């Protein structure tokens, strides 16, 4: 067989330069797509709050106070250690005792289970606002009915009674007992607390 009778070797059609150009274009497209996906994910993700403290304003007992808080700071910590309002007590860590009760936007809450940041823009009322030279009727009724012993639960009870009677000014004894079941007294002065609340309902102690 002669050389000229041999069929020519077929061309593979492979172009190294074209291949490299195509690979570079594909890589660039992949990178752009990845960056776009990451940007969309970051835009959709919720804002993550760091551990750094920041300055916020709280409205406490009718006055605006600037305090520095961390995301984990409880309202009780801020009240006691920055504003020196020590009426609310850290008796229980889960708020079950009711000793840390304060009023936020008209509702009684446990200050030791409430984050300070959640109270920004809201009205906060502590037991200190009920005292002074002209004490609230609930405070006077507690004194008259001897509704305290060791005193640890007393501030929380006073605030809870005030908040409850604001919503139920004509409450019955049964309603009062039910409405105050979130507060505990290790000394067992429940009967006297109920008597104090009923005294305010009836208009006693300047109620």
Cα–Cα distances (Å) from 179 to 21, 149, 153, 182, 188, in that order, read 77, 21, 16, 8, 17
Find the mean pLDDT for residues 84-106. Answer: 94
What percent of the chain has a predicted confidence (pLDDT) above 70?
74
Domains in the chain and their CATH numbers? Answer: 54-201 (3.10.20.30)
Token readout for 104 is 């936020």
C-alpha to C-alpha distance for 203 and 39, rounded to whole angstroms: 64
β-partners of residue 65 are 58
C-alpha to C-alpha distance for 74 and 53, rounded to whole angstroms: 13
List, for residues 29-61, the tens digit of each pLDDT value.
Answer: 566 656 666 666 566 655 555 678 899 999 999
C-alpha to C-alpha distance for 167 and 180, rounded to whole angstroms: 13
Buried b (16+ CB within 10 A) or exposed e, 47-62: eeeeeeeeebebbbbe
Residue 80 — pLDDT band, cuts 50, 70, 90?
very high
Find the mean pLDDT for residues 154-158. Answer: 97
C-alpha to C-alpha distance for 127 and 125, rounded to whole angstroms: 7
Q: What is the pLDDT of residue 106?
A: 96
How does the average pLDDT of the chain come out, rounded?
86
Find the mean pLDDT for residues 190-204. Answer: 94
Look at the block and give the residue holding tokens 């750094």: 52
Contact 110, 70 (CB under 8 A): no
Q: What is the pLDDT of residue 36?
A: 61
C-alpha to C-alpha distance for 70 and 117, rounded to whole angstroms: 8
Q: How do strand 101-104 and strand 123-125 relate by DSSP bridges?
A: antiparallel
Query: For residue 110, which of 119, 123, 122, 97 has the smallest C-alpha distance?
Result: 97
Find the mean pLDDT for residues 134-152. Answer: 94
Query: For residue 74, which of 127, 105, 117, 103 has the smallest C-alpha distance?
Result: 117
β-partners of residue 4 are none
């Amino acid at each position: 067989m002669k050389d000229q009778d041999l069929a020519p070797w077929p061309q593979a059609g492979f172009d190294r330069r074209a291949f490299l150009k195509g690979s570079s274009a594909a890589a660039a497209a992949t990178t752009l797509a990845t960056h776009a996906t990451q940007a969309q994910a970051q835009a959709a993700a919720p804002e993550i709050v760091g551990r750094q403290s920041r300055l916020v304003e709280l409205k406490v007992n009718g006055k605006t106070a600037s305090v520095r808080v961390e995301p984990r700071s409880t309202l009780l910590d801020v009240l006691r250690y920055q504003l020196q309002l020590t009426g609310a007590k850290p008796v229980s860590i889960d708020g079950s005792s009711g000793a840390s009760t304060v009023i936020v936007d008209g509702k009684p809450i446990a200050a030791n289970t409430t984050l300070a940041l959640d109270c920004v823009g809201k009205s906060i009322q502590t037991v200190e606002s009920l005292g002074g030279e002209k004490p609230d009727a609930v405070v006077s009724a507690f004194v008259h009915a001897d509704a305290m012993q060791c005193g640890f639960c007393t501030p929380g009870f006073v605030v809870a009674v005030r908040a409850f009677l604001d919503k139920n000014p004509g409450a019955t004894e049964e309603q009062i007992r039910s409405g105050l079941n979130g507060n505990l007294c290790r000394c067992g002065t429940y009967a006297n607390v109920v008597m104090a609340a009923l005294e305010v309902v009836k208009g006693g102690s300047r109620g």
